[in-house]
Structure 1
Amino acid sequence: MATIYQIKLIKKGTEQTLIIPQELNLNTDEVTIKQEDNKLIIEPLKQKTLLETLATLENIDEEFPDIS
């Protein structure tokens, strides 16, 4: 069974911050956060592979010079 942690939210202006316990630290600098029903779900940001990134680029309609 998963351990449940109770932590306090820190309110600053209109934003809230939470400190994630060390046992739950994620090995990333960026996360995605979404709300489903009454739950917040925090997940590591999935980095795109090089092929996924290249697939988002527009085709080049330019002729390349012959370098042989």
Structure 2
Amino acid sequence: MTQITLAELPETLQNLINQAQKTGEPLTIIQNGIPLAIISPINQSKRAAFGAMKDSGQITGDIIEPTSNLVTWDVLL
């Protein structure tokens, strides 16, 4: 993980963010040897979550009819 002091941050911020994006490695900002913040690149998803399961299901049989015989459900009658 890359580390940089708070004083060095303004002059090199854009280059460091570009480097973090290219390498995927987070950047730790330190002051007096104490970590203050971590800048890490966002992982871009390869596809949207909405609609990801489209066309993966299959309907077999009648979806309105009960799945089992009502005789087995004597408790509910």
* TM-score (normalised: structure 1): 0.29
> Which structure is larger by alpha-carbon Rg, 1 or 2?
2
Structure with the larger strand share: 1
* TM-score (normalised: structure 2): 0.27
Q: Which has the higher contact order (CA 8 A, sep 6+)?
A: 2
